């Protein structure tokens, strides 16, 4: 299966522990990702949490809810989180978030690796890139002025 990898960095006006605490909570992803409208079946276990995120795709007045299984792991508290997503259609995504102190705030770098069947590759790549940009912008909004 083809795999795409891309990365982007945003500066946030909050310390790494504050951002980490926000991102380790599955409920924080509702609205953080423009497609995620709900999370359910949250199961914390040792250093990881599994849950189901409901993505809503819209086409005019119609919508389709896509339940995706997410495993969220805090590898290095206050420094790194990894989300692994299993989505229908053979789509697999891994998002690694690295947090680094930057002045009074944090430099957050998110690296996405997404694999999908060749037939879906262009759509999946566009969606993943668009969602990443929206998520980073929303994080900037949520943490503006909170050093």
Assigned domain for 110 exists: yes
Query: How many C-beta atoms surround the C-beta of residue 57 within 10 A?
Result: 11
Extract the residue ranges of the chain whose pLDDT is less than 70: 145-147
Positive or negative torsion for Cα 36, 100, 146, 50: positive
Predicted local distance difference test score (pLDDT) of residue 147: 44
Assigned domain for 79 exists: yes
Q: How far apart are CA 84 and CA 92, in angstroms?
A: 7
Domain count, the chain: 1
Q: Residue 11: give its domain's CATH number.
A: 3.30.530.20
Please state the pTM of the whole predicted model: 0.88
User: From the DSSP assignment, how many helices (H) and strands (E) are in the chain?
Assistant: 2, 7
Assigned domain for 119 exists: yes
Predicted local distance difference test score (pLDDT) of residue 46: 86
Q: How far apart are CA 16 and CA 22, in angstroms?
A: 10
Assigned domain for 100 exists: yes
Predicted local distance difference test score (pLDDT) of residue 145: 60
Assigned domain for 147 exists: no
Identify the domain containing residue 87 by its residue range: 3-142
């Amino acid at each position: 299966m083809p795999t795409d990898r891309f990365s982007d960095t945003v500066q946030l006006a909050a310390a790494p522990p504050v951002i980490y605490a926000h991102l380790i909570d599955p409920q924080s992803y509702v609205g953080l990702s423009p497609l995620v409208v709900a999370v359910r079946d949250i199961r914390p276990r040792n250093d990881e949490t599994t849950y189901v995120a409901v993505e809503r795709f819209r086409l005019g007045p119609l919508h389709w809810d896509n339940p995706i299984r997410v495993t969220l792991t805090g590898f290095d508290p206050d420094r790194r989180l990894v989300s692994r997503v299993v989505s229908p259609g053979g789509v697999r995504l891994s998002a690694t978030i690295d947090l680094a102190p930057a002045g009074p705030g944090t430099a957050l770098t998110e690296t996405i690796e997404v694999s999908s069947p060749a037939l879906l590759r262009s759509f999946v790549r566009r969606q993943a890139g668009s969602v990443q940009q929206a998520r980073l912008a929303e994080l900037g909004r949520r943490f503006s002025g909170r050093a």
